[in-house]
Amino acid sequence: MELNYLIGPSITKEIMKGKEIHEEMENETNIPIVLQTKSYADFMYKSLYTTYEALETLKKNKKSRELLLYGNLGKYRVVGKMDELLISSGNVVIVEDKTRATDKLPSEAQIKSHRAQVILYKKLLGDIISGTYNEDVFSKEYGIHRLSVTKEFERQLDALKIPKNMQSLPEITEKFFRLYRGIGHLSETLVIRYINQYTGKKIDNYKFKVSEDELDGTINFALKYWSGEREALPVPYEEKWKCDYCAFFGKECKVWSAQKTL
């Protein structure tokens, strides 16, 4: 992660294939929204409106995909995007999709980072549903009431027949948070769905529950890096096999390269 920020991301074939599968699955449930943004305000409106539209279909379709989340972790603002919300047995379930090159489930070591991602989504979504993080906090942090979309963007909204009283950032912000608070009871069970990246077929679901201690521990451990309380850690020695799949191994990162060449 640190090298990704310092040097820049490396887009692999696996990443591109995974992105293609995510887009295909999104188009199965969400109506594509074509809006060309001209400013930061336009971008914020499109982001909020796209998730608002996805939430509008949740109860009817029993699922919706690619939903943005905003929130706070300590002093940090956090933005995430859930792959899917699914209504099952009256509860709302968070589902995260991960693609695999084989039909085998990953090891616990591989699942660790996937768990952390879904745990974070649960924290952010739970804060929105409870009102701990709401439109007032969001508007203050992102300066929503000081922003106005461009005239060109307004014309695009008119073309989509979005009512005039919904074309302001404060209004779409209020609707975004109101819909989230009304989605229903959040399931304690979290799901990671593994998909074959070549066939697009589901391999299996990895289901788990998270305690408050694990949730807090996972988040606090990550925050210590961002606050400068600890250095970035390489994978432990027993997981150095992960280096074989890392774009930085043996070049910018040489943590385990000496052992690998023995």
* Per-residue pLDDT tens digits for 44-65: 999 999 999 999 999 999 999 9
Domain annotation covers residue 29: yes
Domain annotation covers residue 51: yes
Domain annotation covers residue 35: yes
What is the domain count for the chain? 1
Q: What percent of the chain has pLDDT over 70?
A: 89
pTM of the predicted structure, to 2 decimals: 0.84
Give the CA distances from residue 109 to residues 98, 105, 112, 197, 236, in Å, rounded to whole numbers and listed in that order. Answer: 15, 11, 5, 20, 10
Domain annotation covers residue 225: yes
Number of Cα atoms under 13 Å in the Cβ half of residue 160: 19
Cβ-proximal residues to 209 (8 Å cutoff; 6+ apart), any chain:
188, 189, 190
Residue 182: what pLDDT? 96
Phi, psi angles (nearest 5°) of residue 89: 55, 40
Residue 262: what pLDDT? 45
Top pLDDT among 21 and 142 is at 142
Residue 22: what pLDDT? 53
Its sign, for the CA torsion 114, 115, 121, 124, is negative
Q: How confident is the model at residue 180 (pLDDT cuts 50, 70, 90)?
A: very high
Give residue 233's region: left, alpha or beta (phi > 0; psi -120 to 50). Answer: beta
**CB burial of residue 159 (10 Å; 0-12, 13-18, 19+):** exposed
Domain annotation covers residue 245: no
Distance CA 234, CA 255 (A): 7
Least confident of 16-25, 133-142, 240-249: 16-25
Top pLDDT among 19 and 2 is at 2
Find the Cα–Cα–Cα–Cα dihedral 113, 119, 120, 121, rounded to 10°. Answer: 120
Domain annotation covers residue 195: yes
Tell me what the pLDDT averaged over the chain comes to: 89
Q: What is the domain range of residue 93?
A: 11-231
Domain annotation covers residue 165: yes
Other beta carbons within 10 Å of 110: 15
Domain annotation covers residue 5: no
